[in-house]
Amino acid sequence: MNKVIIIAEAGVNHNGDMDIAKQLIDVAADAGVDYVKFQTFKASKLVTKSATRADYQNTNTANNDSQYEMLKKLELSKKNHLDLITYCKAKSVKFLSTGFDLDSLTFLSEIGITLSKIPSGEITNLPYLEKVASLYSDFILSTGMANIEEVKDAYKVLIDNGVKPSSITILHCNTEYPTPMADVNLKAMLHIEKELGTAIGYSDHTLGIEVPIAAVALGAKVIEKHFTLDRNLPGPDHRASLEPNELKEMVKAIRNIEVAISGSGIKEPSPSEMKNKATGRKSIVAIANISSGELLNENNISIKRPGTGISPMKWHNVIGSKAIRNFKEDELIEI
């Protein structure tokens, strides 16, 4: 059975506080995820100082900071990264971070990160995609805000720069925080699989845990989901994130679903249910005392549990035949 990779997206929900960042790692490790993911960037290389904030950032953040000012407070230093990697190792959960600029991509590669999580916003960034292809060995590509042609273009850039198709997983995603259920379009994940033949997954920004669970049932190999210590904390992403107990429930449900869909796919009884066959099915039985040689008919036989006698599927073979011996009421018929 191939295990679904679950990425708990801490993102910038640490609010620039390393104590909170470590608490997020504690929560992720306790939930049993595979990776806890942060974000690596320099605000000065990511956004212009005059860039406006997204609507969801305005809604979820009370102050009037520009996007640059907001992000500047959320940067993690090199030492922060190394401390978080060490802490993740101590908690037996893998560290991952998304680089949002070329220098950040290089930095993450230099500190030993081999898996690149390409964010939706960079799917049309040609120099970024070329840089990613040159530095990493495995790739997870989010596709929020993209149409299928843009997804194909980004995929082609990776392939043209020496990336093996087998090392790419493409995530369906909607970049609205939170995503309305009507906009999820979850079957688009299958469209990506059909068009590109890659492994697929889902990066979720809906409220709750239902959609990522459904994505696993549809064949997602990777699930990414934002989480927080408390949705009421200040910051752009908290309100579209799971709280600790919800993250744990999501992981539990995904692990159950991946087991449930791992069978042979052939419709046949499972070992666990075979013991119930005799008690759950029915047989042809006498409903009155029957004398040997008497004709069996609907007045003296019927169908009842248990299923250890003649199958009701042979009803028409039994009706009209003669009793081979005396039968008491509720006794299984023999022919």
For the cut 70, the answer to whether the pLDDT of residue 145 exceeds it is: yes
Token pair in block for residue 39 = 């974000």
**Helix 244-260 / helix 18-31 crossing angle, nearest 10 deg:** 30
Residue 287: what residue type?
A: I
C-alpha to C-alpha distance for 74 and 67, rounded to whole angstroms: 11
C-alpha to C-alpha distance for 136 and 116, rounded to whole angstroms: 6
Token pair in block for residue 198 = 């890659």
Average pLDDT over residues 164-176: 97
C-alpha to C-alpha distance for 223 and 207, rounded to whole angstroms: 15
What pLDDT was estimated at residue 52? 79
Tell me: the pLDDT tens digits for 276-317?
A: 999 999 999 999 999 999 999 999 999 999 999 999 999 999
Query: Which tops the pLDDT comparison, 210 or 43?
Result: 210
**Proportion of the chain above pLDDT 70, given as a percent:** 96
268: Cβ contacts below 8 Å, ≥ 6 apart: none
139: enclosing H helix or E strand: strand 138-142
What pLDDT was estimated at residue 62? 59
* Parallel/antiparallel/unpaired status of strands 283-286 and 301-304: antiparallel
**All domains in the chain, ordered by first residue:** 5-260 (3.20.20.70), 271-318 (3.90.1210.10)
Tell me: the pLDDT tens digits for 57-104?
A: 666 665 667 888 888 889 999 999 999 999 999 999 999 999 999 999
DSSP letter string, 141-200: EE-TT--HHHHHHHHHHHHHTT--GGGEEEEEE--SSSPPGGG--TTHHHHHHHHH--EE
What pLDDT was estimated at residue 67? 85
Alpha-carbon separation of residue 299 from 151, 169, 308 (angstroms): 70, 65, 22
**Average pLDDT value for the chain:** 95
C-alpha to C-alpha distance for 95 and 83, rounded to whole angstroms: 11
Q: Could you tell me which of 209, 203, 208 has the C-alpha nearest to residue 189?
A: 203
Alpha-carbon separation of residue 313 from 62, 263, 284, 307, 329 (angstroms): 70, 29, 9, 12, 21
pLDDT band of 51, cuts 50, 70, 90: confident
